[in-house]
Amino acid sequence: MSTWRERFSLIAIRTSLGVGGSFLAATFALQAYLQQGFLIPAAVVTFILVSLIVRAFAKVRIQTFSLLTGVWLALLLVIHFLIASSV
């Protein structure tokens, strides 16, 4: 029987892996967009590898990971365009 500390630790690890991995994938996708498609293969490979790692180790569903990556990407694009329009 696992204690509440062990369960909380697993939840924290899974959450941080899912959020951090999706942020990493979104960052690569944003860089691919800003470089006019030069880094698209790197962004695709990063997304695939990180999603497989998150699925294997954190048991996060691929749909949830993809949705979170899309949200991060949209947020990063909005921030980029707000900064670019203010300069």
Q: What is the pTM of this model?
A: 0.77
What number is the average pLDDT over the span 78-82?
90
pLDDT, residue 12, reads 87
Residue 1 has pLDDT above 80, yes or no: no
Choose among 81, 55, 83: nearest CA to 68: 55
List pLDDT tens digits, range 37-74: 777 888 888 888 888 888 888 888 888 888 888 899 89
Q: What secondary structure letter does DSSP report for 17?
A: H
Instruction: Collect all residues with Cβ–Cβ distance below 8 Å to 84 and sequence separation of at least 6.
Output: none
What number is the average pLDDT over the span 2-13?
86
pLDDT, residue 44, reads 86
Question: For the range 27-31, what are the long-range contacts, defined as Cβ-Cβ under 8 Å and sequence gap of 24 or more?
Answer: 27/72, 27/76, 29/69, 29/73, 30/73, 30/76, 30/77, 30/80
As a whole number of Å, the CA-based R_g of the chain is 15
